[in-house]
Amino acid sequence: MEARNVPAYIEIYNDLFSKIMSSEYKMGDKLPTEKELCDIYFVSRITVQKALQKLVDKGLLARISGKGTFVSSANSSKPSKKKTIIGVIMCNISPSYGVNILKSIEKYAANMDYSIIFKNSYHDREKETIAIRDLIELGVEGIILQPMLGEMFNPEILKLSLREYPIVLIDRNLTGLSLPFVGSDNRYITEKVMDNLFENGHKNICFMSSIPKNTTSIEERLEAFNNSFIRNKVINTVNNVYTNIYSNSCAEDEINNYIKQDIENIKNYLLDNPQITCVFTSEFAICSIVKKAINSIGKKIPDDISVLTFDNISESIYFTNTSYIKQDEEAIGKYAVELLNDAITGEKKDVKRYLPTEFIKGTSIKNLNEIK
């Protein structure tokens, strides 16, 4: 070989690399022996070994003791596009709400060549803070976040907002922060459902939720609930708002104790307000404990008390006959990814998307007008 500035082993490496990439040597092919390569390239065995080792390090060759050197891959040295990683933090996920959002986020993120890292805050401020810090440390390009119930601006979220770090809120907006948001049109669907209840003869309707303060989704539902009475000129003669429920937003290790207490409190509330004909709950978990409380006082659904809720377990294997408002979790996940991508690329900021929902009427609402 002619004397050149490029070392001989690099020239051999480049030649073999070219033959592998052009499929002259295909995956699984055995290369000539080291001695044969020495004769082909007119170099020493040490030079051949250095060239082969470089190809092994690249993942293109594999050496098998006693058998020889084989092509292991024709693609591993091609520059691969590094996937962008985004973070997802949710308060909790369940079959009734959250699981399908996460599935949707993963699906549409993959379509846009993003990988995701998921963190569950379990309704715990400290866990939420740690999750945010962990994701930032891991170098994610942006975060999709479901804020906690009653969120009073976690300082970490405020810091991200001030830095204009790509972050998208889902389900619950944080009033005062200029961050993209995607969630349901809570006001419209609540008013629509309330109209249906009034048409079915219900007037003494109770709304049950956790404390709504600083939780926009509940605040919107409660506001629309109260406005419905005024709009329909209906006077509710009972204490029609009950927000002393804690089991849906407590730490995981405390949930069983809070469930027992919530059931007992709801039971007493219903006994103190026997005029109530319908309970409208803000979420499926609360509806479940309300139904237990109703059963515990010897009442039947819907004969004695009708119930309806936001969200339900939609899989047929878990079918329940409870009337519910179905949020479009697929669309929430889809638009969350799109808004985050826009924030990452700097195309759009502070976009708010309020998505339509659907009222699925089961058999848990009694038509009082049919009673003779």
Task: Give the number of other CB atoms < 10 A from CB of residue 69.
Answer: 20
Predicted local distance difference test score (pLDDT) of residue 4: 46
Predicted local distance difference test score (pLDDT) of residue 152: 67
- C-alpha to C-alpha distance for 222 and 242, rounded to whole angstroms: 10
Domains (range + CATH), the chain: 8-71 (1.10.10.10), 84-184+329-355 (3.40.50.2300), 186-327+358-370 (3.40.50.2300)
Decide if 203 contacts 234 (C-beta within 8 A). yes
Predicted local distance difference test score (pLDDT) of residue 98: 94
- C-alpha to C-alpha distance for 323 and 97, rounded to whole angstroms: 15
Predicted local distance difference test score (pLDDT) of residue 73: 66
Predicted local distance difference test score (pLDDT) of residue 330: 97
What is the amino acid identity at position 191? E
Predicted local distance difference test score (pLDDT) of residue 200: 96
Residue numbers of the chain with a pLDDT score lower than 70: 1-5, 73-83, 151-152, 237-238, 251, 314-319, 348-349, 371-372
SS3 state of residue 98 = strand
- C-alpha to C-alpha distance for 79 and 48, rounded to whole angstroms: 25
Q: What is the pLDDT of residues 15-35, one digit of tens each?
A: 998 898 888 898 888 999 999
* 93: Cβ contacts below 8 Å, ≥ 6 apart: 99, 101, 102, 120
Predicted local distance difference test score (pLDDT) of residue 300: 96
C-alpha 84: how far from its chain's center? 17
Predicted local distance difference test score (pLDDT) of residue 82: 57
Predicted local distance difference test score (pLDDT) of residue 178: 87
